[in-house]
């Protein structure tokens, strides 16, 4: 059917959450890719939309992992500091 738009996930909400909660630089890059996916989808360019969506997803996964690792490091450092002050 000609004239239909491809249904490609942009991952925009995930990108915004990555920016706000996990890793600012990767989140911003993911937002840019998400927006490109939306624009390509609106233009009917399925291959470009899928590529941008894939990049946004990868950036979000990396940003989430970085955020989790950072949280674990901060908690570990806080526990070490608390143990040293208490002992």
**How far from chain centre, in Å, is Cα 72?**
19
- pLDDT category of residue 1 using cuts at 50, 70 and 90: very low
Query: How many Å from the N-terminal Cα to the C-terminal Cα in the chain?
Result: 72
Long-range contacts of 31-36 (CB under 8 A, 24+ apart): 31/56, 33/59, 34/10, 35/10
Model confidence, pTM: 0.86
CA distance 54 to 14: 13
Residue 36 is predicted with a pLDDT of 97
Query: For the segment 4-52, what is each residue's pLDDT rounded down to a tens digit?
Result: 777 899 999 999 999 999 899 999 999 999 999 999 999 999 999 999 9
């Amino acid at each position: 059917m000609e004239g239909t738009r491809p249904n490609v996930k942009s991952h925009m909400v995930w990108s915004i959450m990555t920016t706000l909660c996990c890793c600012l630089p990767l989140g911003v890059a993911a937002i840019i890719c998400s927006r490109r996916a939306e624009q390509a989808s609106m233009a009917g360019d399925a291959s470009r939309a899928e590529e941008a969506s894939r990049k946004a997803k990868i950036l979000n996964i990396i940003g989430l992992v970085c955020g989790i690792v950072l949280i674990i490091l901060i908690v570990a450092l806080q526990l070490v500091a608390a143990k040293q002050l208490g002992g």
